[in-house]
Amino acid sequence: MTVNSFKKILVPIDGSSYSEKALKRACDFVEAFGSEIILIYVVEKSIPINLLDRKEYLEILQKFGTKILDKSKRTLSKRGIPAKTFLKEGNIVNEIEKVAKKEKCNLIIVGNKGLGSVARFLLGSISNKISQLSLCSVLIVK
């Protein structure tokens, strides 16, 4: 391997067991290829839910996202792996793609399901959309 094809890895997380599994696989890459990990949580803004006041709803998701990012960062830290984190608001797929591009990631490791778990109708489609739209390679973990 002349060039490290897995130098920078973006792992979108959402607190689901699927994203936890994706994070575990990312650790395998760190050990094997010395990859850097970047974590991202996206607060989905476009969900048409009126159960709560919109502002309150977004605040709750932001708190949840911060918690999930901290937890994942601690998990990595215990294994001696540093990680950059991003908390974004917007469309999940677009925000992931934007960070992947900006940070020049070589790979996105994503769980097969999860991501957008609040909007259950989206289940399973996020990972497909990422793999279709992303400019870098995508590992879909099952």
**Which chain residues interact with its own copies by CB under 8 A?**
1, 5-6, 24-25, 27-28, 31-33, 124, 127-128, 131-132, 134-142
Quick one: 33 or 57, whose CB is closer to its own copies?
Answer: 33
Separation of alpha carbons 87 and 69, rounded Å: 8
Quick one: 30 or 69, whose CB is closer to its own copies?
Answer: 30
Tell me the closest approach of the beta carbon of residue 129 to its own copies, in angstroms. 10
Tell me the closest approach of the beta carbon of residue 112 to its own copies, in angstroms. 8
Tell me the closest approach of the beta carbon of residue 58 to its own copies, in angstroms. 31
